[in-house]
Structure 1
Amino acid sequence: MSNLIQKYNVAGPRYTSYPTVPYWKNESFTSDAWTQTLQQSFKETNATEGISLYIHLPFCESLCTFCGCNKRITKNHGVEIPYLQSVLKEWQLYRALFNEKPIIKELHLGGGTPTFFSAENLKSLLDGIFEHSIKADGAELSFEGHPNNTTEAHLHMLASLGFNRVSFGVQDYNETVQKAIHRIQPFENVKKATENSRKAGYTSVGHDIIFGLPFQKKEHIIHTIERTKVLMPDRIAFYSYAHVPWIKGNGQRGFKEADLPTASEKREQYEIGKQMLLEAGYVEIGMDHFALKTDSLYKAVENKTIHRNFMGYTASKTQAMIGLGVSAISDSWYSFAQNVKTVEAYQKQVEEGKIPVFKGHILTQEDLTIRKHILNLMCKLTTTWSKEQGWFAELADVLINLKEMEADGLLHIERNALHITEKGRPFVRNACMAFDLLLQRKQPDTQLFSMTV
């Protein structure tokens, strides 16, 4: 395995979208084109599958140096109400595009730290969102919680509105690692937050665990997984730390490069953690995710409804996803759009009655075909094609480029299908990169992505 890691450990996308953001054709993107494709998608699918909402809440009281999210560090909670008012105004701008009430099938509060906001203010936001929309039967409503500041008031208020899933950022329980990433949270805090969530009625409690962090050793991974098994969260995201200081600036320079594990050490951390999770009864899903068989994500795999978008893996698909808030990304299936990245610019544009997107991409027919293949590989570890569907001009070249991965036992190519093997799971991003025609046609001059291993 170490030879394969060395061979395939290259910079590559995580494929929460295709085309990936660095390959968006922003020069041909317009706000009008974005809203037209969203209206088209809404007409096609609102009545049958509804829409998804992602709401970005960017504020945090302190900086975690592992974080690659768009955030604003402040202890001034006076920012809460003005920001939430802007989010509701943006939602009004989107609602005005539709001739019927949106059916919300999925809603996720991300950040930043959503629980930076008081329970009362979050209730005002969500009441405003739901006032002129329809909450779908069985809607999956979720939020990211910080174990140190998610209160029982947060949990009970959100549960009363139908929230049924919460994920807590654990990262690692070792104090040295926690100090390096500036995220100090004892096991007792995670335990309390997890138990309170279950008491409040949440049917899916998730933990995020990261390997490859500064000063992290395999012993730390073992300890963290052992602690995790005490609580048995329903869902676990176990993923590699993405060291991209050239993108995120000083936030990821609180330690030296030499403090990071090597690629082979990272893969050992992952393999040890994965084996422990499998032995504990978790099932590996897609890339970097594990779930108990009682969790909705596992059931989505069984029902073949699992989907992947800018929110990561989701238990169901909606064609339209609207991102509200600073830097949020939206997806109509036919196009992507991203909001402006500063709070001030975001609030100014919303106050002026403008949907605050500043860049995006309108997908071509080729893009749509490739997107389906990459989505199939990321979600189902297999994809198929025929002359009628899924075929594209460069397919033969893509399959030739994948022959080496096949020879290494990482995938299997049939006449009209490709399957990732169990051995190939850690390298699924590499397989997707072969299908990524935009990446193949123009390799980046500088490193744009994190390493695949």
Structure 2
Amino acid sequence: MTAQQLLDKYNVAVPRYTSYPTVPYWDASCPSTGDWQGSVLQAFGESREISLYLHLPFCEALCTYCGCNKRITKNHAVESPYIEAVLKEWALYRDLLPGRPILRELHLGGGTPTFFAPENLHYLLSNILKDVDLAEDYEFGFEAHPGTTSAEHLSTLRDLGFTRLSIGIQDFAPEILDIINRKQTFEDVRFVTEKARELGYESINYDLIFGLPLQTPAHIMETIRKTKALAPERIAFYSYAHVPWISPAQRAYSEDDLPKGKDKRALYELGRELLEEAGYVEIGMDHFALPKDSLYQAMQEGALHRSFMGYTPFTTHLNLALGASSISDSWGAFVQNEKKIERYQELVNAGELPIVKGHLLTEEDRILRQHILNIMCRYRTNWSDTGLQCEALYAGLNRMDELEADGLIIRRPFELEVTDIGKPFIRNICMALDARYWRKKPEGQLFSQAV
């Protein structure tokens, strides 16, 4: 089967598998606060190591491609009340945990974390860090908007132990940045990159997107050329997800402006080829890293992990997420916080954990989750251990006849391996194992296209 035939066949709406079960398939009844607290305590009892995610949702301008939960405002008076609410939520967890947690990872996402003044970020983070012990090999990172990240931001966070940052670039072309309302320049990116290196940041990631409105192969070539000149250690090169029914701002441009099908896939193939020529190695799904980076080393050692924070070299079974809309994971359960900022603050200020939805994983969920994680992180999975077997796994494997016939996977006794041909369709492969999806297929379009 030709590459075009594979694209035509497998370019369907597919979940992104940041979790299993995926959020639309969480049980309708939210776990009680007691159930969630019990799951947190169980995970903490197995290991005191935790990861922390802080969602900082404010942005000064609306980037129309973005599907994140955010609040657009130029009113920086919102910073202090939100920070106090996040610290109160942290206090609720701190009071629950029977001992000081060991912090393995800390990540600031958004929104735009650098919307917040450096002194406010220092206040927030110093109050969190005083209540934890640091793992011997910890990693702190944050998402940086090149148009709003100052030298003071970089210095403040570096002093607090941050060694990683992820710069949202998307594309360097002014006409594309204009249509998606992204306010930044190449010089902004260069400044943040060079200043971060000067201060001792060890790993810099660039977020690049293919499939943006007006984007052509010439744009990809120029963006990769400029990226190579600045040599970030990691690159997330991922597909634009056009979901205007979820993110109405994406209606700011016409679907006729978007590259589709084979044209969109060609943008990825071109970008991947150029990145590999520059020495980057494909990591999991949509990610690339230089061999010196910890993400590459984790892949080589079989330690690569994927969570709501993306790919990481560490596996922690207790991931606490603070802030509006953030999602926590105790390995046995997921919960999501209230999305509306005012309601989130109201709940926390009343002394309540602000969870509004969630899911308690069944034994089947845990088994399928592990196999999907293995495929996403290692391009293979194995079920020789009876603890990793269930009827739903074998039902999923039986759905893979066509995937194997088309050369996307190789099945052996108790093992599945993704081929190089199959790597662009890794979401399709995972979907074959998604028992909840197949028991209740969505009636309308719920997910973005595979390509």
Give the structure-2-normalised TM-score. 0.98
Aligned to 1:40: 42
Give 3-state SS (helix, strand or coil) of 1:389's partner: helix
Aligned to 1:268: 266
RMSD: 0.9
Q: State the alpha-carbon separation in 2 of the partners of residues 322 and 430 from structure 1.
A: 29
Aligned to 2:409: 411
Task: Deviation per CA, 1:88-110: give whole Å up to 9, x if none.
Answer: 00000011111100111000000
Q: State the alpha-carbon separation in 1 of the partners of residues 315 and 28 from structure 2.
A: 26
1:218, CA displacement in angstroms?
Answer: 1.1
Q: Is the 8 A contact 2:147 2:188 kept in 1?
A: yes
Match of 2:381 among 372, 380, 383: 383
User: Within 5 A, what are the aligned runs for 1:57-72?
Assistant: 57-72=56-71
Q: Which amino acid aligns with 2:394?
A: A
Q: Is the 8 A contact 1:144 1:167 kept in 2?
A: yes
User: Within 5 A, what are the aligned runs for 1:250-269?
Assistant: 250-269=248-267
Q: State the alpha-carbon separation in 1 of the partners of residues 132 and 122 from structure 2.
A: 15
Give 3-state SS (helix, strand or coil) of 2:246's partner: helix
Q: State the alpha-carbon separation in 2 of the partners of residues 245 and 260 from structure 1.
A: 13
Q: Which amino acid aligns with 2:19?
A: S
Give 3-state SS (helix, strand or coil) of 1:348's partner: helix
Aligned to 1:219: 218
Q: State the alpha-carbon separation in 1 of the partners of residues 30 and 321 from structure 2.
A: 21
1:176, CA displacement in angstroms?
Answer: 1.5
Identity level (%): 53
Give 3-state SS (helix, strand or coil) of 1:139's partner: strand
Q: State the alpha-carbon separation in 1 of the partners of residues 429 and 146 from structure 2.
A: 36
Q: Which amino acid aligns with 1:20?
A: T
Q: Is the 8 A contact 1:300 1:306 kept in 2?
A: yes
Q: Is the 8 A contact 1:175 1:184 kept in 2?
A: no
User: Within 5 A, what are the aligned runs for 1:307-326?
Assistant: 307-326=305-324
User: Within 5 A, what are the aligned runs for 1:420-431?
Assistant: 420-431=418-429
Q: State the alpha-carbon separation in 2 of the partners of residues 399 and 375 from structure 1.
A: 15
Task: Deviation per CA, 1:249-306: give whole Å up to 9, x if none.
Answer: x221110111110121111000000000000000000000000011111111112111
Aligned to 1:236: 235
Aligned to 1:296: 294
Aligned to 1:305: 303
Aligned to 2:280: 282
Aligned to 1:210: 209
Q: Is the 8 A contact 2:380 2:415 kept in 1?
A: yes
Number of equivalent positions: 449
Give 3-state SS (helix, strand or coil) of 2:232's partner: coil
Aligned to 2:344: 346
Q: Which amino acid aligns with 2:13?
A: A
Q: Say whether residues 1:373 and 2:371 are aligned partners.
A: yes
Q: Is the 8 A contact 1:339 1:359 kept in 2?
A: yes
User: Within 5 A, what are the aligned runs for 1:68-217?
Assistant: 68-217=67-216
Q: Is the 8 A contact 2:30 2:356 kept in 1?
A: no
Runs of 4+ in 1 over 4 A off after TM superposition: none
Task: Deviation per CA, 1:404-439: give whole Å up to 9, x if none.
Answer: 111111110001100000111000100000000000
Q: Which amino acid aligns with 1:64?
A: C
1:28, CA displacement in angstroms?
Answer: 5.2
Give 3-state SS (helix, strand or coil) of 1:350's partner: helix
Q: State the alpha-carbon separation in 2 of the partners of residues 42 and 359 from structure 1.
A: 21
**Unaligned regions of 5+ residues in structure 2, if any?**
none
Give the structure-1-normalised TM-score. 0.98
1:395, CA displacement in angstroms?
Answer: 3.3
